């Protein structure tokens, strides 16, 4: 039996037999160029040259750090008509060691193949996998005998079986008869995308087909593309006779994908997105049917069309593919293209929609009917125009103005601009609803059972009834029956109505001459200042307690006490700093309130009834007897004074 060293020596001898005595070492930019150089130096056609790769080379990056391909080349041992294209790496299956993943082994028995060639009988053995059984020598010898192989090198057979490294090794000879070699026929599908060979088995003394034999046959029949090298190798190892065998496949053309637009908003306007509350319940009023966007927000992205990938038949004929179709992004109002026309962004804040196929941002959201269960709550970054009513239980919020053609029930309105309600607001008895907040002016026929706040004016035509309202400037009730009955009405400059108060004596409070919001902010600051004072007193008490303990024990504080003392000192200093900042804010707020030049006035054009409480700045007067004629109250010499009625100066025409 051969040992490993003897086996390696015999292998080297076999390799040397396939080489010509003339050997050259050449290089080139790639393998093809190196082979061309070898062809010149050996005076041989490339097809008659075998080679070993010393260095595959590297083209580098734009020629930087490139490395040439280096090979050792020599004349092929096989006849010139037997084309040789497999590299040494391929011949010995070296590329298998470079695979990224390794297939998980299963229990598979070993197997072997015998190939008869013009130069003798060759054996290849495949190792078992997992717990599979190895190849038996007797089985191999029997196969060789069946094929009339003589002078069998039994030791070499045993060694090849033990090594099982899937390499062809010569193990014997036979009487070669070329006339009985395997015969091959070719069949190509009608679309030229598949090529099949059908092989008849060799007769006595005939040789088997090799990969190179099949490649040469295909080349002679113009099959030049899509050759399945793995299939050819499998056929060489384990031939399939008298059956069509797939050896080449074309590549079908792949049409490019059409351009498409990815929308970042819901393009179906009636699609509902129910919102889930924190407790897991569902808020059926939050339908999110109106999609707000801010200026500069991406709205859609265009994915460009892809070019098609041409196919090729096994004859190498190109099959053209179709390129994807382009698609135009249609733009509506308040949108623009960026990123070389691939991205649509909003050029203004508002609500986005797909309108007649065009991406559009509307700065005014128009609700054609009521705000109710069909629309859900409305939240817009622009303005909102409601052609109907705002029904009970719903809310409307807008960065711009809100305009309601109908009435507002037990609902909430919040606008950065004006709020305009044609048929009035009745907020009901619930504190959850009836909250009307405007950054500018509230216009309404009436306010009843409402909590209203305006950054400028509150203007009503019928009156304010049992409501708590305040305006940064004026509350003006102008109309034949414009009245203020019950509740509290506050304004910085003026409150004016036809009638103020109720015959039944319902308490009605009217306050002017100060900034209500500034007063509220001052109250909050003073409350916070008081809380900080209390917290500082507690910290100081703890500090004094630790000091007393140290004096009584007449020794240093423990580590824990010392750390606590330092922490309390840091907290004390931080509180002092916060109190100082608050004192400065309080002082500024007081100076602002004191600096207000408008003293404020309260006016009734027809009458003011008993039970009304009038407050101008810090002075208060309760009306005990009614005034049945026009009257205006002002502050003069620190007293509330009654003067002749002063009419509304503003033009109340809404433009």
pLDDT at 282 over 80: no
Q: Running DSSP on this structure, what letter comes out for residue 330?
A: P
The separation between CA 459 and the C-alpha centre of its own chain, rounded to angstroms, equals 48
User: Of all residues in the chain, what percent carry a pLDDT higher than 90?
Assistant: 59
What average pLDDT does range 471-493 have in this prediction?
Answer: 91
- Please classify residue 204 by burial: count the beta carbons closer than 10 Å to its beta carbon, then call 0-12 exposed, 13-18 middle and 19+ buried: exposed
Instruction: Say how many C-beta atoms besides its own lie within 10 A of residue 156's C-beta.
Output: 20
> Using 50, 70 and 90 to split pLDDT, how confident is the model at 260?
very high
Q: For position 80, what pLDDT does the model report? A: 38
Higher local confidence (pLDDT), 401 or 652: 401
Average pLDDT rounded to a whole number, residues 380-403 = 93
Is a pLDDT exceeding 60 seen at residue 65? Answer: no
Q: Are 70 and 22 in contact (CB under 8 A)?
A: no
Considering the entire predicted model, what is its pTM? Answer: 0.54
* Contact of 300 with 359, CB cutoff 8 Å: yes
* Residue 17, pLDDT score: 54
pLDDT (0 to 100) of residue 27: 80
What is 32-75 written as a DSSP string? HHHHHHHHHHHT--GGGEEEEEEE--B-TBTTBT-B-EEEEEEE
Q: Which of 246-255, 268-277, 522-531, 541-550 has the highest mean pLDDT?
A: 246-255
341/359 Cα distance (integer angstroms): 14
Tens digit of pLDDT for each residue in 123-169? 999 999 988 899 999 999 999 999 999 999 999 999 999 999 999 99
User: Which of 90-99, 420-429, 550-559 is the least confident region?
Assistant: 90-99
* β-pair partners for 608: 500, 627
What average pLDDT does the segment 92-96 reach? 40
Confidence of residue 420 (pLDDT cuts 50, 70, 90): very high
The DSSP secondary structure of 425-448, one letter per residue, reads: EE--S-SSS-EEEESS-EEEEEEE
Q: How far apart are the first and last CA of the chain?
A: 112
From the list 283, 269, 440, the residue with the least C-alpha distance to 365 is 269
What value does the mean pLDDT of the chain take? 85
Instruction: Name the pLDDT band for 24 (thresholds 50, 70, 90).
Output: confident
Q: CA torsion 228→234→239→243, rounded to 10°?
A: -40
Q: Give the pLDDT confidence of 262-271 residue by residue, as tens digits.
A: 999 888 766 5
Residues in the chain: 655
Q: What is the pLDDT of residue 597?
A: 56
Report pLDDT digits (tens) over 285-309: 566 677 888 999 999 999 999 999 9
**Do residues 640 and 613 touch, judged by C-beta distance below 8 A?**
no
Q: Kindly give, in sequence order, each residue whose CB lies less than 8 Å from that of residue 584, ignoring residues fewer than 6 positions away.
A: none
Which tokens hold the place of 432?
């959850």
What pLDDT shows up at residue 96?
A: 40
According to DSSP, residue 188 is labeled: E
């Amino acid at each position: 039996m051969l040992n490993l060293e003897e086996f390696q020596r015999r292998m080297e001898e076999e390799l040397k037999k396939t080489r010509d005595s003339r050997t050259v070492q050449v290089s080139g930019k790639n393998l093809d160029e190196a082979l061309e150089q070898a062809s010149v130096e050996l005076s041989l056609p490339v097809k008659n040259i075998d080679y070993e790769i010393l260095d595959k080379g590297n083209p580098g990056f734009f020629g930087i750090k490139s490395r040439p391909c280096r090979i050792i080349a020599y004349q092929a041992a096989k006849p010139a008509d037997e084309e040789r294209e497999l590299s040494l790496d391929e011949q010995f299956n070296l590329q298998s060691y470079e695979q990224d993943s390794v297939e998980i082994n299963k229990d598979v028995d070993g197997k072997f193949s015998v190939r008869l060639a013009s130069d003798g009988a060759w054996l290849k053995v495949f190792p078992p996998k997992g717990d599979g059984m190895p190849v038996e020598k007797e089985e191999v010898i029997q196969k060789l005998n069946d094929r009339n192989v003589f002078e069998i090198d039994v030791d070499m057979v045993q060694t090849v079986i033990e090594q099982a490294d899937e390499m062809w090794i010569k193990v014997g000879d036979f009487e070669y008869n070329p006339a009985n070699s395997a015969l091959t026929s070719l069949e190509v599908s009608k679309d030229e995308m598949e090529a099949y060979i059908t092989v008849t088995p060799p007769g006595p003394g005939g040789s088997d087909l090799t990969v190179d034999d099949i490649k040469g046959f295909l080349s002679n029949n113009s099959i030049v593309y899509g050759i399945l090298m793995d299939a050819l190798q499998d056929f060489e190892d384990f031939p399939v006779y008298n059956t069509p065998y797939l050896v080449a496949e074309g590549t079908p053309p792949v049409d490019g994908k059409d351009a498409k637009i990815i929308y970042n908003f819901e393009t179906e306007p009636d699609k509902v997105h129910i919102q889930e509350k924190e407790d897991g319940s569902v808020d059926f009023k939050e339908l999110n049917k109106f999609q707000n966007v801010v200026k500069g927000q991406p709205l859609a992205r265009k994915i460009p069309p892809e070019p098609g990938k041409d196919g090729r038949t096994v004859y190498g004929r190109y099959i053209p593919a179709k390129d994807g179709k382009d698609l135009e992004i249609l733009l509506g109002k308040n949108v623009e293209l960026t990123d070389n026309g691939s991205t649509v962004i909003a050029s203004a804040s508002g609500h986005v929609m797909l309108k007649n196929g065009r991406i559009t941002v509307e700065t005014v959201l128009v609700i054609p009917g009521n705000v109710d269960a069909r629309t859900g709550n409305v939240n817009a970054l622009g303005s909102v125009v409601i052609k109907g009513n705002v029904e009970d239980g719903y809310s409307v919020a807008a960065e711009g103005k809100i305009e309601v053609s109908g009435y507002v029930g037990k609902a909430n309105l919040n606008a950065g601009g004006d709020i305009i309600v044609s048929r009035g607001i009745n907020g009901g008895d619930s504190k959850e609803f009836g909250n009307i907040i405007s950054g500018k002016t509230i216009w309404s026929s009436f306010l009843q059972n409402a909590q209203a706040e305006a950054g400028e004016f509150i203007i009503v035509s019928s009156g304010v009834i049992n409501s708590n309202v305040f305006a940064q400037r004026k509350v003006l009730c102008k109309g034949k029956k414009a009245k203020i009955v019950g509740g509290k009405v506050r304004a910085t400059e003026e409150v004016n109505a036809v009638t103020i108060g109720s015959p039944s004596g319902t308490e009605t409070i009217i306050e002017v001459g100060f900034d209500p919001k500034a007063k509220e902010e001052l109250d909050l600051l003073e409350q916070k200042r008081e809380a900080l004072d209390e917290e500082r007193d507690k910290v100081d008490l703890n500090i004094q307690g630790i000091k007393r303990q140290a004096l009584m024990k007449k020794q240093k504080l423990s580590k824990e006490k010392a750390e606590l003392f330092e922490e309390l000192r840091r907290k004390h200093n931080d509180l002092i700093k916060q109190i100082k900042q608050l004192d400065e804010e309080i002082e500024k707020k007081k100076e602002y309130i004191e600096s207000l030049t408008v003293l404020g006035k309260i006016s009734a054009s027809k009458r003011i009834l008993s039970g009304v409480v009038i407050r101008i700045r810090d002075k208060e007067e309760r009306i005990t007897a009614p005034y049945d004629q026009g009257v205006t109250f002002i502050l003069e010499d620190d007293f509330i004074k009654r003067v002749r009625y002063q009419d509304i100066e503003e033009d109340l025409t809404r433009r």
